[in-house]
Amino acid sequence: MLDGKRILLVISGGIAAYKTLDLIRRLRERGAAVRCVLTKNAQNFVTPLSVQTLSGEKVFSDTFSLTDEHEIGHITLARDCDMVVVAPATANLIAKMTTGLADDLASTALLVTDQPVVLAPAMNFRMWENPATQANLAALKARGVRTVGPNSGMLAEGEAGMGRMAEPSEILALVEGLLAAGPLRGVKALVTSGPTFEPIDPVRFIGNRSSGKQGHAIASALARLGAEVTLVTGPVRLTDPAGVTTVHVETAREMLGACLGRLPVDVAVCAAAVADWTVSNASKEKRKKEAGAPPPAIELAPNPDILATLSESGGARPHLVVGFAAETERVLEHAGAKLERKGCDWIVANDVSPATGTFGGDFNTVHLITRAGTEPWPRASKADVAERLAWRIVDALGGHKGEQE
């Protein structure tokens, strides 16, 4: 909770500014007082009236407003808070922060503040990938500025790529994790994510369509709540989550070895889509197609069962082991059977048939299956699913925090 905490929210000019209305609501529900600064361009996307109505506070935008300067002053505005959150943080405002420009109230407040600063970048993917933007972010991070997002997906221009502002739930979780002690402080967590690639030869492999978005989101959510998180991920096209120790692997055996090497932990969440089989007769050279010759036979052998192994790891068993069941039919039946077969504590069941768009998409519809029963969760972004699961883990661990230390 954020009872008594004061947040200065800087809203800059981007289409993602509309999301800040939800962020304001969530911050206030957690007990925070929210004071907002709107840039001139931000007012093209959200109105001062809507922001003022949701925040319950006067909205600031003009450095030279005599009334504002008399009542509060831009220096007081920037310091009379516990944290400054910039959402969305445009490429332009990030550049201003890096060089120390102060040509409006937002950039002036950011230059003068002595409080922690959190950025939620949002921009076109080409702006995000531009070396200038990446250099600016690296410089700000070196000064202690924290970032959340951006995420990958459809952008306002109709293009797809990295640049979507983090969801309000993600921003809220980071703010809470930084300002509060963190309900998972002292907890060690292990998360697996993405697919595994099982080589056929040095060029080809057996794999699956997992994007790793759900597993990465879970690792981020746990870290923002204060946990010490290790993410073991197969090959994905995602940036490593902030505040998380990330281990990159390729095969199921490599993933198992990395997981066992991180024990003991308090909680393990196995969200990776691990290949069931590996190629036992993988070639060290590229297999050639020869005219008239039959295709080479591929011999399969079972891969190690990471979820079952962690669930049966004796004295090193995590207090809570959570598995995922990616199914295309009879989802609850197959997931319930997996809970019993693997020996884990919870199963998160989701339908990954092509029509759902779950694999590679940004949304998920899941059921949480525990020994006590099945909970259907509404369709939500993968970030929101991750946050909800993280808070359920908080409740489940209770007095077991840090037991494995």
Binding-site residues, in ranges, read 276, 286, 304-307, 324, 338, 342
Closest to 171 measured CA to CA, from 107, 221, 240, 236: 221
**Inter-CA distances, 284 with 200, 256, 289, 345, Å:** 9, 23, 15, 40
| Rounded Cα–Cα distance for residues 32 and 9 (Å) | 11
Residue 271 main-chain phi, psi, to 5 deg = -95, -5
Rounded Cα distance, 43 and 13, in Å: 7
Crossing angle of helices 131-142/91-99, nearest 10°? 50
What CA–CA distances, in Å, run from 383 to 152, 181, 234, 302?
Answer: 12, 22, 19, 32
Q: At which residue do the structure tokens 């969801």 appear?
A: 167
Half-sphere exposure of 77 (CA within 13 A, CB side): 28
- Binding-site residue positions for CTP: 276, 286, 304-307, 324, 338, 342
Encoded tokens for 184: 């998972």
Of 92, 130, 208, 350, the catalytic one is 208
Residue 217 and residue 233 in contact, taking contact as beta carbons nearer than 8 Å: no
The answer to whether 51 and 36 have CB atoms below 8 angstroms apart is yes
* 208: annotated active-site residue: yes
Distance (Å, whole) CA 44 – CA 104: 16
Pairing of the two strands 373-376 and 366-370: antiparallel
Structure tokens at 57: 């506070």
Query: Which positions are annotated as active-site residues?
Result: 208
